[in-house]
Structures are given as C-alpha cells and as structure tokens.
Amino acid sequence: MTTTSEPMQREVGPPAGGDGPRPFGGPPRDGGPRGGPGGGPGGRPRGRGRYIPRRKVCQFCVDKIDVIDYKEPARLRRYVSDRGKIEPRRKTGTCSRHQRGLTTALKRARHLALLPFTAAHIRDTGVFQSRG
C-alpha cells in the first residue's frame, strides 16, 4: 500500500452524467436510477410537460377505401356525434378528401333513413320543439 503526501485533487464543476443535484436545483439530468432523460421509462418528460397528442390518421386511407359507401351505416355511425351532428376532421382525423365524401355519404344515408337526423333522446323528449 502506497501513500502519497499530496491531497487528492477533485474537479470543480457540474456533476458528470447527472449523478447528483444540479447547481440551480431541479431533478438530475439523466433522471437518476429510473432511466430515461425525464425520470420516466422511455425518456418521457416528467412533471408539467406539454401534452402532445398522437397524430390521427384517416381510417379510409388506412383501409384503402376510394369511395365511401352510404349503405354502410355501421361504418358511418362512427363519424356522427351522439346528437346527430357530423364530427369535424380535427376530431376524427379524416383527411380532407375523405371528409368531403363522408359528408355526402352521411347526408345520403340520412335521406334514406339509414341514419337519424337527430339523436333519439331529442326526438323522444321533444326538448327542441318547433317555434310555430
């Protein structure tokens, strides 16, 4: 065992790799023992990070449907709200080309009574009565 008379020199500065606290507070840089740069699994930021929703894709493009058939009420019903309104693109993720075709198909299905114009609870209770 060898001993030296000079004291051991320590480097002064920020801790390497985020093993300790940061100079101005806050969580360690690498998230500590939990892994990922934010402390959570997979490197997701922890705390009050801004929520970034997953990008919606057009279901008609995914299924490679060219023409939207108005005779498929089961498929069309997904794009109508509970009050009977056509859902907007920003909510359903439908592309502009298919949204235009979807609107036409929904109107045709309504005209042939395959889909309702209004919600059942509005028709039954008569909440919105005619002004006559």
Evaluate if residue 12 carries a pLDDT over 80.
Answer: no
pLDDT of residue 32 exceeding 60: no
- Say what the pTM is: 0.56
Distances (CA, A) of 127 to 2, 83, 110, 116, 130: 93, 12, 21, 16, 10
Tokens 């045709």 found at: 108
Of the chain, the percentage scoring pLDDT greater than 90 comes to 42
Find the mean pLDDT for residues 107-126: 86
CA angle 64, 65, 68 (to 5 degrees): 165
Please return the burial class of 92, using the count of CB atoms within 10 Å of its CB with bins 0-12, 13-18 and 19+. Answer: middle
